Each structure stands twice: as C-alpha cells, then as structure tokens.
C-alpha cells in the first residue's frame, strides 16, 4: 500500500507557514532541517534530480517539518515564490513504482539513496501532467 508521506512547500516566509501549521492548525512540530542536496541551474532538458531541485526554486538551505509520519507531514523551504511544489508518496517498492512509470511512458528520474532525518530513503521523482511527485521508500 502506498501512502502520502508529505507535501513539499516553498515560501518566501517558511517560518510563518510552519507557525501556521503548528500553532494555528495544531500539527505537531517536527523542527528544522538542513537541505542535503547541491543546487544546480539546468534550464531545459529531461527530468533529472538536478532539474527537480531547480524547479522547486528553494533559495534557503534550511527548512521545517510540520506534522509526524502518523499524521502526515509538510516540508517547508524558503523560496522567492510560494508554491506546493511536490507530493511525496511512500511506497514499499520504489524500484517497482519507477518501472511502472517507465512502462507507462511517464517521465521519471533515476532512483537515488539520500538522507531524510535519521533515516535513509530510496527515491525518484516523476512528472505527470506538469505535477512533480516524489516516490520514496524508507530503507
């Protein structure tokens, strides 16, 4: 079974969005985090990890997590623009999900292992109808 893991938000004021979700809405606070990716500036081309990181337009190296894995989460990063830039979907087998994307002709990145908090995840990004989805599996 796949579940929505978290929604990815970029905002000119990520602290305000975090405060709203935690202090006003009542989600549990997950605290701050540090981005681990290296930004590049690809202007065109196929969907790659570097292009996805560019498309999200995050301009600040730190962010916030509001919510918990049980209640689902929001990941909030600083940016010059405000947007919901991707939805992360947890799956039991990210490679099988990626293979289904390829078979369906869906544009998808390669799978990478990366750090998420204290855990490592295997993940890829797919673009469907102009919307970015992260397919992820906690290792």
pLDDT reported for residue 44 = 58
The stretch 85-103 carries a mean pLDDT of 88
The stretch 94-112 carries a mean pLDDT of 91
Count the neighbouring beta carbons within 10 Å of the beta carbon of residue 13. Answer: 13
Map out the domains of the chain as residue ranges.
Answer: 3-138
- pTM exceeding the 0.95 threshold for the entire prediction: no
> Is there a contact between 30 and 65 (Cβ–Cβ < 8 Å)?
yes
Specify the CATH superfamily of domain 3-138: 2,3-Dihydroxybiphenyl 1,2-Dioxygenase, domain 1 (3.10.180.10)
CA distance 97 to 135: 7
More confident residue, 137 or 45: 137
């Amino acid at each position: 079974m796949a579940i929505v893991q978290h929604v990815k938000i970029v905002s000119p004021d990520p602290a305000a969005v975090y405060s709203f979700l935690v202090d006003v809405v009542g989600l549990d606070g997950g605290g701050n985090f540090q981005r681990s990716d290296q930004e590049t500036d690809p202007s065109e081309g196929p969907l790659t990890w570097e292009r996805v990181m560019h498309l999200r337009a995050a301009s600040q190296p730190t962010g916030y997590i509001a919510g918990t894995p049980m209640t689902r989460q929001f990941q909030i990063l600083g940016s010059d623009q405000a947007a919901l830039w991707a939805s992360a979907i947890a799956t039991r087998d990210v490679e099988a999900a990626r293979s289904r994307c390829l078979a369906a002709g869906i544009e998808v990145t390669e799978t990478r292992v990366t750090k998420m908090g204290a855990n490592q995840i295997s993940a890829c990004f797919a673009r469907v109808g102009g919307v970015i989805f992260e397919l992820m599996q906690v290792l």
